[in-house]
Amino acid sequence: MDDRSLMPESGDVSDVRQIAIRKVRNGQPSNQLVLSAASATNDAVFPNILSLYVCDGASIADVTFGKGVFWRKVPEGKYRLFATDLASGTDCRNLPYEDAVMDCLVLDPPYMHTPGGNAHSSHTPFESYYANNRTSASSDAKYHDAVLDLYFSAAKEARRVLKQNGVLIVKCQDEVCANRQRLTHVEIINELSQNGFVAEDIFIVVRTNRPGVSRVVRQVHARKNHSYFLVFWKNDGKSRVWRSPV
């Protein structure tokens, strides 16, 4: 399939990336708010993120679409969705889109390497898809550094295809690698903040069930039972504006 046929036409969506000031008048009291942390599933949290940061009708490239879990509770037709992934032949580090055409990009690659069998069986193993980046955009990085390399390379490509002030939504999880805590969300924020993105928001998703492992001799670190959605926006480095979908 030629993904260039999915390109948004110029002028298709008239400036869905609206800019607004933070001051809000005439508000009403409410506790029906989007919260920064929830014990929930990804498909319950993801629509709330879109409601805050992406306008209706926006063009969104989900470049690690997989089974489309994030989109299960998003009304069909609310956005212009361009769904690709490695399994369908499109590498998130080498997208078939022209420069500055997308309003939003969603990135959720396998986010941990999997030594020791089924220690992370609830998540798709990084190696089964990328095998230390065996695909066209190869790298000498290994283990957790290979995971980071994938995120950083995909973010660079995301910056290319996003419009100015476009939104990048990144899903990730911290991990322990070689008995060392790797705070993946911090590493991603630090890297992207130095390379054309502004970190705008963070959402913590706590698993609704209790994780386990096949065999425990002695627990050394806390078992991770939460993950993150990180929200960035593309910035030209010359100005600081606040994005609003309304």
- The residues near 130 (Cβ < 8 Å, ≥ 6 apart) are 86, 109, 110, 146, 150
114: helix, strand or coil: coil
Which of 141, 65, 143, 105 has its CA nearest to residue 233?
105
pLDDT along the chain (246 residues), means of 10: 50 45 68 90 96 96 95 97 92 96 95 46 44 42 80 96 96 82 91 95 93 78 89 78 48
Which of 208, 39, 221, 188 has its CA nearest to residue 119?
221
Rounded distance between C-alpha atoms, residue 132 and residue 162, angstroms: 27
Which of 68, 72, 234 has its CA nearest to residue 162?
234
Q: In what order do the strands lie in the sheet with 80-83?
A: 37-39, 197-206, 226-234, 162-172, 102-107, 59-62, 80-83
* CB 60 within 8 Å of CB 54: yes
- The residues near 21 (Cβ < 8 Å, ≥ 6 apart) are 242
Is the entire prediction scored with pTM above 0.85?
no
Domains of the chain: 55-211+219-234 (3.40.50.150)
Ranges of beta strands (E only) in the chain are: 37-39, 59-62, 80-83, 102-107, 162-172, 175-177, 180-182, 197-206, 226-234
Quote the pLDDT of residue 83.
Answer: 97
Rounded distance between C-alpha atoms, residue 93 and residue 107, angstroms: 11
Quote the pLDDT of residue 136.
Answer: 38
Quote the pLDDT of residue 141.
Answer: 58
Quote the pLDDT of residue 18.
Answer: 44
